């Protein structure tokens, strides 16, 4: 099991847990978390409606009265996207997933409120970066 030591890593791990709970509540079946290869990682792999979802989670701590305009989704760079894509290809090969299987990359941003302890989830489905 991974050991998260930095504050940023702990926030990321907490955001992934919040996202997994949200996904289950909205009808997703979680297949795997933190699928890792030497060249990349997929935070959550889940299915819903016969679609395989490869989910990247980006998390940020916020404060209730904050007027922050920063969106953690901005951290999904082209370089990171290509690592995720390469990792997806490896997953599909490792588990002999049929070429007929529908799959997509989704991005979930988790806003973790430090004051009122509420969390906000924002999603972008079927992300493509060219």
The CA-based angle 64-70-75, given to 5 degrees, is 130
**Band of the pLDDT at 16, cuts 50, 70, 90?**
very high
The 8-class DSSP code of residue 124 comes to: E
Phi and psi torsions of 118, nearest 5°? -95, 155
Query: At 82, which helix (H) or strand (E)?
Result: helix 78-94
The pLDDT value recorded for residue 90 is 97
Q: Report pLDDT digits (tens) over 18-38.
A: 999 999 999 999 999 999 999
pTM: 0.87
Is the pLDDT assigned to residue 49 strictly greater than 60?
yes
- Where in the chain are the domains? 7-124
Is the pLDDT assigned to residue 88 strictly greater than 60?
yes
Residue 117 structure tokens = 């302890």
The pLDDT value recorded for residue 76 is 85
Query: Where is pLDDT greater, at 103 or 69?
Result: 103
Question: 101 with 88: CB under 8 angstroms?
Answer: no
CATH, range 7-124: 3.40.1350.10
Is the pLDDT assigned to residue 2 strictly greater than 60?
no
**Dihedral Cα 94, 100, 102, 103, nearest 10 deg:** 20
Residues 6+ apart with CB under 8 A from 87: 35, 36, 37, 39, 40, 41, 42
Say how many C-beta atoms besides its own lie within 10 A of residue 49's C-beta. Answer: 8
**Band of the pLDDT at 65, cuts 50, 70, 90?**
low
């Amino acid at each position: 099991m991974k050991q998260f030591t930095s504050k940023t890593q702990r926030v990321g791990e907490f955001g992934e847990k919040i996202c997994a709970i949200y996904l289950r509540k909205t009808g997703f079946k979680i297949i795997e978390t933190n699928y890792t290869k030497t060249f990349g990682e997929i935070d959550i792999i889940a299915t819903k409606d016969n679609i395989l979802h490869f989910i990247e989670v980006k998390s940020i701590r916020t404060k209730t009265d904050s007027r922050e305009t920063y969106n953690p989704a901005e951290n999904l760079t082209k370089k990171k996207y290509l690592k995720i894509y390469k990792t997806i290809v490896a997953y599909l090969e490792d588990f002999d997933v049929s070429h007929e299987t529908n799959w997509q990359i989704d991005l979930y941003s988790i806003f973790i409120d430090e004051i009122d302890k509420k969390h906000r989830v924002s999603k972008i489905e079927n992300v493509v970066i060219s």
